[in-house]
Amino acid sequence: MSGDALMLARVQFALTAGTHFLFVALTLGLATLVALMQTRATVWGGAGGSGEAVHARMTRFWGQLYVVNYAVGIVTGLVMEFQFGLNWAGMSRTVGGVFGAPLALETIVAFFVESTFLGLWIFGWERLNRWVHLALIWVVTVTAYLSAYFVLVANGWLQRPVGYEMRDGRARLTDVGALLGNPPAVLAFGHVLFGGLLTAGFFVAGVSAFHLRRRAGETEFFRRSMRVGLVTVVASIVPVVVLGGAQFADLQPTKLGGDDADAAVAAFTARFGPDDYRPPGLSEAGEALMMSMWALMAVLAVAALVKLPFGRWLERGRVFHVVMIAAIPLPYVAMLAGWVFREVGRQPWMVYGVLKTRDAVSDTGAVAAAVSFAVFTVLFAVLVGVNVWLLARFARRGPGGVGLGVPAGAAPPSPALSPTL
């Protein structure tokens, strides 16, 4: 394949994979918060009271936003899978026996279960016992994390291939335990878990701040939601950086620099021939941007710690409301920057020390690569636009416009009533 076609294939996958991950992060975090909201509403629902009524309504409102993000995210994930066949046939031939195994588990074990139970949760309102309905959202949440874990197992193997051997030019899995316990996968999973919670925390706090600033009613609802979002931010801000920093101990030698990088470059040159084995400058830029975004979020987490003990402060801080609305994109930028650092820094390798990117790409021409790039880029841009529009539309309506769990033709539940879970 020509150099232009290779670059188009790389950029296409970077854009689509990075875009899909934005949906995944909010899905992981928001599913957890919705499950916790429904747990509180269900466990204490029998006691009655305005607090339990609010948490029941919070479950429906934030659950509806979760469903919207999940639905559009599924489309991006399915479309992205086509790229492996279109652009990366060499990778499938050489290492598909190992790389494909965790992806198959993700689809069969996690995704199908997650989507099935989510459908039961969506259509089970008022039809299922409240404890059964609560169990459904927890199954959805757990399988969402399981799905993310299997994907990171596959990606972790690209970063640090373990538990395999080469036979007749193809990788064969020999140690399932080594594959599943690979440090780049396990540490990345913890990092992504708290990154998703951080994303959901800023999202919930930002949407709540929008409504509190408008002072259009529902003050108690969004004050409690703001508290949930800020507590999530405070609880996630330190673990996310600790688990991210722990991964530096297991970075590829060429990313670390110094004598280790020089030795790795010499070994690669002797084995595979001359090439640019050091990570491009874009990788370092991604690392710097990621840490800058974390620093800004840490400052906001400290501000949240000051405001949280005083409930009324969450309602009145109009400047703080504007800041939290503006802060919604911060975790997204940090995640994309971290992804650039992790993935671009692996180049020129598709599988580090095993398979180069230029050998993993499909043998297609520049015209086919350009058409594929244009189609996928436009499609993903439309999907992102649709998701942002839908989230903004339903978030702006507030809990009074919630349709999740409301029978066809029925009016949304009154703020004064606690829906039966």
Residue 229 has pLDDT above 60, yes or no: yes
How far is residue 339's CA from residue 248's CA, in Å, rounded to a whole number? 14
How far is residue 188's CA from residue 176's CA, in Å, rounded to a whole number? 18
Residue 416 has pLDDT above 50, yes or no: no
Which range of 52-61, 197-206, 275-284, 403-412 scores highest in mean pLDDT? It is: 197-206
Q: DSSP letters along 316-369, please?
A: H-HHHHHHHHHTTTHHHHHHHHHHHHHHHTTTTEEETTTEEHHHHS----HHHH
- Half-sphere exposure at residue 351, Cβ-oriented, CA atoms within 13 angstroms: 23
- Compare 208 and 216 and report the one with higher pLDDT: 208
Report the b/e string of 84-117 with b at 16+ CB within 10 A. Answer: bebbbbbbeebbbebbebbbebbeeebbebbeeb
How far is residue 359's CA from residue 94's CA, in Å, rounded to a whole number? 9
How far is residue 49's CA from residue 316's CA, in Å, rounded to a whole number? 25
3 state SS of 181: coil
Confidence of residue 346 (pLDDT cuts 50, 70, 90): confident
- Compare 409 and 19 and report the one with higher pLDDT: 19
pTM of the model: 0.90
In single-letter form, the type of residue at position 262 comes to D
The residue-averaged pLDDT of 199-224 equals: 89
Q: Which pLDDT belongs to residue 181?
A: 94
- Half-sphere exposure at residue 219, Cβ-oriented, CA atoms within 13 angstroms: 9
- Compare 417 and 29 and report the one with higher pLDDT: 29
| Residues β-bridged to residue 164 | 173
Residue 415 has pLDDT above 60, yes or no: no
All residues at 6 or more sequence positions from 42 whose CB lies less than 8 Å from its CB, including other chains: 130, 131, 133, 134, 421
The residue-averaged pLDDT of 371-381 equals: 87
**CA-to-CA separations, 237 to 89, 163, 291, 302, 350, in angstroms, rounded:** 39, 33, 12, 10, 31
Least Cα distance to 355 among 94, 13, 97, 9 occurs for 94
Q: DSSP letters along 82-97, please?
A: HHHHHH-HHHHHHHHH
How far is residue 202's CA from residue 207's CA, in Å, rounded to a whole number? 8
Confidence of residue 52 (pLDDT cuts 50, 70, 90): low
Residue 214 has pLDDT above 80, yes or no: yes
**Contact between residue 88 and residue 9 where contact means Cβ atoms under 8 Å apart:** yes
Confidence of residue 407 (pLDDT cuts 50, 70, 90): low
pLDDT (tens digit per residue) in 391-401: 999 999 888 87
Residue 421 has pLDDT above 60, yes or no: no
Residue 419 has pLDDT above 50, yes or no: no
